[in-house]
Amino acid sequence: MITFVATPIGNLKDITLRALETLRAADVVFCEDTRVTLKLLSAYDIRKPLIACHKFNEREAAEKMIALSREGKQIAVVSDAGMPVISDPGGAVSQLLLAAGEPFTVAPGACALTSAAVLSGMPMGRFAFLGFLPEKAAERNALLARYKTYTDPLVFYCAPHDLDGAVAALYAAFGEREAVALREITKLHEERVPFTLKSGYAGEKRGEFVLIVAGAAPAEDPMLRFSVREHVQAFLDLGYEKKEAIKLVARDRGIAKSEVYRAALDL
């Protein structure tokens, strides 16, 4: 069996019992950086053969996994921190495994995305996760243009040396908005820094960052500029029956149907 295993994003204690069980039972561990994974395994006195699986060799790594799995070997797949596939190596591997009909599963756990959502203090019932911004300006601008009118928060990953450029690109695309930077999540110097896109991030640029940007203000329904009576009349002019028009106006304006009915008695 092949298992994608979440690993700690900072604090080595943030690993699940199942993750440890999976790593101990594995015959081989495929990892983003063998040095980083060796440190984690050593902390829990686990010794396993390590094979590199990073963004430059995912196809080759997947082929090795498939061959080993078909020999009956237990395989664990990890990234340096957090959940493989989520802005980390593993996405191409999972697709290749599916194409080959090779089963795999996941041992969930720590993820910077969900931890940052909690720490942000923003309403995160819905949000869009955009990961790392593209390096090429044209691709970056095209991506941000697609989300300019998105009304829920936008979440980005960012390396410290890219932070100023990323914030400048977000301001150019969205204009002034509230934002918050989360860094060193689960570590000793965990920090939440609110700022605005116009003013920029003024905190320490050390450690991996999650940026969360407020969504666009909802577009105002132009019909709300008119009176309730005029709003009903507009629906009547479109061919709606009066009863249905009253129902639609009440929905659009967030008021009781009885209030709309009284305003439209003579229509």
What is the per-residue pLDDT for 251? 85
Could you check whether 2-110 and 113-213 share the same CATH topology? Answer: no
Residue-wise DSSP of 150-166: --S-EEEEE-GGGHHHH
Q: 21: pLDDT confidence band, cut at 50, 70 and 90?
A: very high
| Confidence bin at 245 (pLDDT 50/70/90) | confident
CATH tag, 113-213: 3.30.950.10
Classify domain 2-110 by CATH number: 3.40.1010.10
Global pTM reads: 0.78
Could you tell me where the beta strands, DSSP code E, fall in 69-190? 75-78, 104-107, 128-132, 154-158, 178-183
- For residue 145, the SS3 value is helix
The domain limits of the chain are 2-110, 113-213, 222-263
| Interval 147-157: pLDDT, tens | 999 999 999 99
